[in-house]
Amino acid sequence: MKKVIKYILWALLAALVVWTFVFLWKKSRPVEKTYNIEEVSAGTIEKRTVATGKVEPRNEILIKPQMSGIIAEIYKEAGDRVKAGDIIAKIKVIPDMVNLNAAESRVEVAQINFAQTQKTYERDQKLFAENVISREEFEKSESKYKNDKAETKAAQDNLSLVRDGISSNRAAGTNTLVRSTVTGTILDVPVKVGNSVIQSNNFNDGTTIASIADMGDMLFVGKMDETEVGKIHAGMPLTITIGALQDKKFDAVLEYVSPKGTEENGAILFQMKAAMTIPADVFVRAGYSANADILLAKADSVLKLSESCIEFSGDTAFVQVLTTETPQAFEKKQVTVGLSDGINIEIKSGVKEKEKVRGTEKMGE
């Protein structure tokens, strides 16, 4: 029994040695590489780039008050359509006490003078009718009467303006009513009832009551890297994709490229603006993030090949043309290349359509 076990162990050891030698022999043999085969085909190559940005109205108008005070009423809210002249808000005037006191004093003086002038005028009118005084003296009295009457009216209007911001003869055009200066959509109303507001003057821009823009005239505003800004120019067509409206694409025309770049995170970027064409049934909100797809160059009906098939040596390009399939054998040929889109490249000469070319190496074989 011991001899049988001994022979079995020796047999296993011999088999292990043989298997080791066979394994090492197989590993020492050169591995035959196989490659994916690509075919030269005819087609179109387009070189494109993408710019990121957002959608903004071309003109956003800030509505400022014509006088300082407190917001008494707000008649519109963000999203409302307004026309030029529509009332947006009403301002309650808080009068300056010095000016108010001066205006009241002016009214009192004017009324006293007018009362005296009126008595004199009525008396002279009777005397003139009885031919007691000359026409010249009567006309002077009449002129004085009209002047004092006008001064009283002016003083009363001034008091009304200082106290209430409203003139009796120009109530429709009062500065207490904040009106829209353009036709469009209200984007924002940053004030609330009770807020104090300041009129626009030489030392202050004034408080913004509302911002208004024409939402039918929108721009794509983005930035382009310095490596590609030289390839774009005004008038180029763009395709705009909005993140919030992914199923829609909008045509646009490049209108502006900034002559000066700005540095952001170590890169020089140039601002660009493109006018968008927005269908009437689509509502695009201001501030949407968007991408612009820009066609930089295009080659129609040319031979193309996967760029991974091209071998470069200095300024010269080569491909490996398949001569036999089993085993795979290739012939090296020089080619002239053209436009590339990063995946496919134009072949101007060196190979023909439908020729088979060596591609990338097959893995795991």
**Mean per-residue pLDDT for 269-287?**
92
pLDDT value, residue 29: 55
pLDDT value, residue 139: 81
Q: How far is it, in rounded angstroms, from Cα 353 to Cα 338?
A: 16
Q: How far is it, in rounded angstroms, from Cα 30 to Cα 92?
A: 94
**Cis peptide leading into residue 65 (ω within 30°):** no
pLDDT band at 182 (very low <50, low <70, confident <90, very high): very high
What stretches of 78-208 show up as alpha helix (H) in DSSP? 97-129, 135-164
Name which of 19-33, 40-54, 151-165, 337-351 the model is least confident about.
Answer: 19-33
Q: How far is it, in rounded angstroms, from Cα 342 to Cα 296?
A: 13
Extract the tokens encoding 340.
């590339």
pLDDT value, residue 97: 66
Name which of 19-28, 52-61, 311-320 the model is least confident about.
Answer: 19-28
Q: Amino acid identity, residue 83? A: K
pLDDT band at 22 (very low <50, low <70, confident <90, very high): low
What topology does CATH give the domain 60-93+176-213?
OB fold (Dihydrolipoamide Acetyltransferase, E2P) (2.40.50)
The C-alpha angle with vertex 288 and arms to 180 and 226, in degrees rounded to 5, equals 110
Query: Residue ranges per domain, the chain?
Result: 1-30, 32-58+214-365, 60-93+176-213, 97-171
The region, left, alpha or beta by phi > 0 then psi within -120 to 50, assigned to residue 115 is: alpha
Contact 234, 73 (CB under 8 A): no
pLDDT value, residue 161: 67
Three-state DSSP class for residue 355 = coil
pLDDT at 364 over 60: no
Q: How far is it, in rounded angstroms, from Cα 296 to Cα 238?
A: 10
Q: How far is it, in rounded angstroms, from Cα 309 to Cα 321?
A: 10
Per-chain mean pLDDT for the chain:
84
pLDDT at 251 over 90: yes
Q: How far is it, in rounded angstroms, from Cα 276 to Cα 55?
A: 9
pLDDT at 280 over 70: yes
pLDDT at 38 over 60: yes
Could you read off the pLDDT of 212-239 as tens digits, one per residue? 999 989 999 999 989 888 889 899 999 9
Q: Amino acid identity, residue 208? A: T
pLDDT value, residue 271: 94
Contact 344, 312 (CB under 8 A): no
* CATH number corresponding to 32-58+214-365: 2.40.30.170
pLDDT: which is higher, 158 or 237: 237
pLDDT band at 163 (very low <50, low <70, confident <90, very high): low
* CATH number corresponding to 97-171: 1.10.287.470
